[in-house]
Amino acid sequence: MAPRSGTGRFVAASTAVGLLAAAGAVAAAGPWDGGQRTAERVRAAAADRGAYARGAPYGSSRAGPVLAGVLGLSPGAGGSGGSGGAPAAAGLAASLEPLLADAALGPRVSASVVDVASGERLFGANEAAAVTPASTVKLATSVAALSALGADHRIETTVTLGADGIVLVGGGDPTLTARPSPPGREPTGLPALADATARALKTLGTDHTALRYDVSRYTGPVPHAIGTNENLAPVSALMVDEGRLDDSDHGPADRTDDPAGDAARKFAALLGERGVRVEGEPAEGRSPAGARRLAAVASAPLSDLVERALTHSDNDIAEALARQTALADGQPASFEGAGRAVAARLARLGLPTAGARFADGSGLDRADRVSADLLARLLARAGDRGSPELRAVLTGLPVAGFSGTLRERVAGGRGVVRAKTGTLTGVNALAGTAVGGSGRLLAFAFLADATSDSEGAQRALDALAAAVAAGR
C-alpha cells in the first residue's frame, strides 16, 4: 500500500468509519509545527520522496491504493481514467448543475472540477471565464512563490555595519516577531537579532550606535489599493508582527501606519535592554554596498509561510509571497512587478492563465482576475507527486469542520473537503480538494463575483463542495 498522505488519512477515516473517525484522524495528526500537523508533514514527505525516487510522472498520485488496505479495494480501484471518466463526469454534472442555478450565486459563476490523478476535467461551467477571485487568489500566489523559490527558502532580516552605526535591513518577512520567546526556548525573531547584534557590537568594542533601517528591497507604492485597514498593514520590507497593534497573530486587527519605523524603534529598545545604547531616533537609510553583516535571523521555511497564509487567509504573508516571487524572477518587488512575476510563473508551469490578472497577492484588490479552471488545475498540479515543492498548497488548505476559515463550513464534506475561501462584498469563492465517494481526489473551484446575498452564496458554495465529495 502506498504511504498515506494527510489527505489519504482523511479519505480512509471518513470513508471507512464516518465522521467520528475523521475527527479522530485530525486530532491524532498533531501537534502543529509551523502551521502544518507534524504527522501530516512526515507522511507527505515520505510519499513525495518515494515518488520522486521512482520518477513518477504527472498524475501518478492516486487515491485508490490509500483505500485498499481499509476497504479491501484492489490497486487502482476508484481511480480515474479508462471508462471511469465519462460516468464520473455525468454524475458530477447531474449533482452540480442544479446547485449552480442557486440564485444566491448570482449571474456570473465560473466552475471547474478536475481529477487530480489524471488531470481530466470532469466538470466545467464557464470554467475559462476570468472573474474576481477574492482570497482564493492566494492559491496562485502560493504556487508561484513555491515554484520560484522552493519549499525550504527562508526570508532573512539582517543587521549590517553602516558608515555611522548599524543598519537594520528588511528582507520582507512579515512573520518577524518582537514578542519574547516562551520560557526555556531560544530567542527568535527580533529578540534573537538583538542578542546577536549586541554581541557583535561588544566584540567590536562599542556599547552605543546610531541605527538606520533599510526598506529598499521593496519598491513602488507601500499602501495597498484598499489603504491601511484591519486586514492588511502597509506592505513593507520591514515589519514586526504584521504591524498589529494588539496581541493577535491572525485575523483582522488595527495596524500601524509605519511598520518599518515601528520595527526599528522596537529593535532599538531591545538593544537597550541588552546594554547597547542607540543614539537618537532610528532613521531610514541604506545599507552600504558590500557592508559587513553583523547578524541575521531567518523566517520559517516558505512552505510554513504558505500554510499559514492559506489556513488563516493571511493577507500580509500573501503579499510578501508575491514580492518574494518578483525578487526571485528579477522583477521589481512592487504590486505591479509581483503581478507580472506570479503570472509568468504560472504560465511556465503550463497552467491556463488566459485573462488572468494579479493586481495583488492577497485577493483584496477587486482588479484581480482568475478562472475556476486555473485554480482547479493549479491545485491538481500541487497534488502531482512530481511537484513535491508545491505540496504545502494542499496541506495548508483549511479542513472542513476542523480548521481555519472552514472550521464552521461545508458540514456535508467534513474531514474530506479542504479549501480556500474567498469573500469580498459581492464576491464569494471556494477552491480546494475533495475526496469523492469512490476515493478519487478531486480539485474544484467555484467562483461567483456578482452575489447579493453573501450568507446564501456561502451556503451554495458549501453545497457544491459537499456534492463534489459525495460524487462517484
Instruction: Indicate the helix (H) or strand (E) that contains 85.
Output: helix 85-100
Selection from 143, 70, 150 nearest residue 443 by Cα: 143
Residue 313 is among the residues annotated as catalytic for this protein: yes
455 Cβ neighbours under 8 A, 6+ residues apart: none
Residue 138 is among the residues annotated as catalytic for this protein: yes
Greatest Cα pair distance, the chain, in angstroms, is: 76
Strand residue runs (E) in 67-161: 109-115, 121-125, 156-161
Which of 110, 142, 299, 313 is labelled catalytic?
313
Which of 138, 142, 287, 387 is labelled catalytic?
138
Contact call for residues 127 and 284 (beta carbons, < 8 A): no
Contact call for residues 374 and 382 (beta carbons, < 8 A): no
205 Cβ neighbours under 8 A, 6+ residues apart: none
Selection from 467, 418, 412 nearest residue 443 by Cα: 418
425 Cβ neighbours under 8 A, 6+ residues apart: 454
Which of 95, 135, 362, 438 is labelled catalytic?
135
Q: What is the dihedral of CA 405, 409, 415, 421, to 10 degrees?
A: -40
Selection from 412, 408, 427, 328 nearest residue 369 by Cα: 427
27 Cβ neighbours under 8 A, 6+ residues apart: none
Residue 147 is among the residues annotated as catalytic for this protein: no
Q: What's the chain's length in residues?
A: 472
- The cell 547597547 sits on which residue? 276
Give residue 106's identity as a one-letter amino acid code: G
Strand residue runs (E) in 116-265: 121-125, 156-161, 165-169, 208-214
- The cell 535592554 sits on which residue? 273
Query: What DSSP assignment string belongs to 284-339?
Result: E--PPTTPPEEEEEEPSPHHHHHHHHHHTT-HHHHHHHHHHHHHHTT--SSHHHHH
- The residues that are catalytic are 135, 138, 313
